[in-house]
Chain A
Amino acid sequence: MEYVIMFISAIFVNNIVLSQFLGVCPFLGVSKRVDTALGMSAAVTFVVALATLVTYLLQGLLVKLHIEFMQTVSFILVIAGLVQMVEIILKKISPSLYQALGIFLPLITTNCIVLGVAIQVVTNEYSFINNVGAANPNMMNLPQAVVFAVATAIGYSVALILFAGIREQLELSNVPKVFKGVPIALITAGILALAFMGFSGLV
């Protein structure tokens, strides 16, 4: 049940793009076509889940060594290394998937979502999580952290694919000249965010 709530919360109520503003750059950048949006979503979901798993374990080590202030530096290095590694492995094991994800993989390093989620799971306290007996009852345990990461990434995918669908239609419509490009995309995103606001209070 806890995991179901987590999914609904991350996808609809606290959607990472539309209510927390993480990952807006690729959200605007790669949302011109639905198929590129699908590729990006798959790549992000994969990397976010993997990165959260690794950084969660790394945080344990940082706490043990009392060097929590190294969090930002070590997390970003791990993420950059991980993305590079995924790229190399994918190239060997599944060249077709590698081709499909193409340029999106290296771009993910600078996607705020990966670092954002990694930091969120080790710092934030969630009201619906209560791990009785743990050292910090409000902090996520490992399975919760990974589920949270996957749910957040799926929330991102939902928003990205919806938005790409709208933008494909937008290409055909007659937009005032000064609004062409980014401004109209932002207004569309605003209206989409307004729609997602309807879900608030659900969880």
Chain B
Amino acid sequence: MGKLKLISDGIIKNNPTFVLVLGMCPTLGTTTSAINGMGMGLATTFVLILSNIVISSVAKIIPDKVRIPSYIVIIASFVTILQLLLQAYLPSLYETLGLFIPLIVVNCIVLGRAEAFANKHSVCDSALDGIGTGLGFTIALTVLGCVRELLGSGSFFGLKLIEGDGMLAFILAPGAFIALAYLMVIFRKVTGKKA
């Protein structure tokens, strides 16, 4: 039960997008379609789990003063690995996400979980926390991607549902902000969280 709670906390109680409002740049920048949002979410999850595991296992030997730079280097290494993997096996996703892949390094979620959770919990718990937070982020991005894709181009995961062009604004920048705002409001209503 306790282990399961670690995962569900990341998805609902501490949802990185809707509750903690972290990592807004990729959330808004990559969710032009559901599949892009999901790709970005999974890429971040990959880095999150691995960096959580490594940081939790080396946290004790890193001096307190240089911990933030060390964490950043660990995270940056995993981002580089991810970058090379995507380039080799999923070049189309790599193209669409573009700049946002290297920017996972400065995603507040990854460093935030390292600092707030991984450096004082066991390796196993940290891995689960990484999975939970990563899933929460992926779900949020996929939902936002779905909404924007549906309203903006009338399709769902690339499948055309409505004929015509849809509201272009939702694919462009303004729609991203507005769609996320309304999703956040719905999330607050459903979970009964106060501002």
Are chains A and B native binding partners rather than an unrelated pairing?
yes
Given that A190-B178, A193-B173, A193-B174 are known contacts, is A72 also in contact with B102, CB under 8 Å in the complex?
Answer: yes
Question: What total count of A-B pairs have CB within 8 Å?
Answer: 123
CB–CB A189/B21 < 8 A? no
Bound-state Cα–Cα, A77 to B68, Å: 11
Task: Check if A90 is an interface residue, CB within 8 A of chain B.
Answer: no
CB–CB B69/A23 < 8 A? no
A-chain residues with CB within 8 Å of residue B24 when the two chains form the complex? 21, 24-25, 28
Bound-state Cα–Cα, A190 to B73, Å: 34
CB–CB B25/A23 < 8 A? yes
B-chain residues with CB within 8 Å of residue A119 when the two chains form the complex? 99, 102-103
Given that A72-B105, A111-B106, A179-B185 are known contacts, is A20 also in contact with B29, CB under 8 Å in the complex?
Answer: yes
CB distance from A46 to the nearest CB of B (A): 18
Contact of B177 among A111, A120, A187 (CB under 8 A): A187
A-chain residues with CB within 8 Å of residue B188 when the two chains form the complex? 178, 183
Name A88-144 residues within 8 Å CB distance of B. Answer: 109-112, 114-116, 119-120
Bound-state Cα–Cα, A182 to B173, Å: 17
Name A46-78 residues within 8 Å CB distance of B. Answer: 69-73, 75-77
Count, chain A residues at interface, CB 8 A = 44
CB–CB A25/B185 < 8 A? no
| Nearest chain A residue, comparing its CB with the CB of B110 | A110
CB distance from A1 to the nearest CB of B (A): 27
Bound-state Cα–Cα, A183 to B182, Å: 7
CB–CB B106/A110 < 8 A? yes
Bound-state Cα–Cα, A28 to B177, Å: 11
Q: Which residues of A contact B (CB under 8 A)?
A: 18-25, 28, 69-73, 75-77, 80, 109-112, 114-116, 119-120, 177-184, 186-187, 189-191, 193-194, 196-197
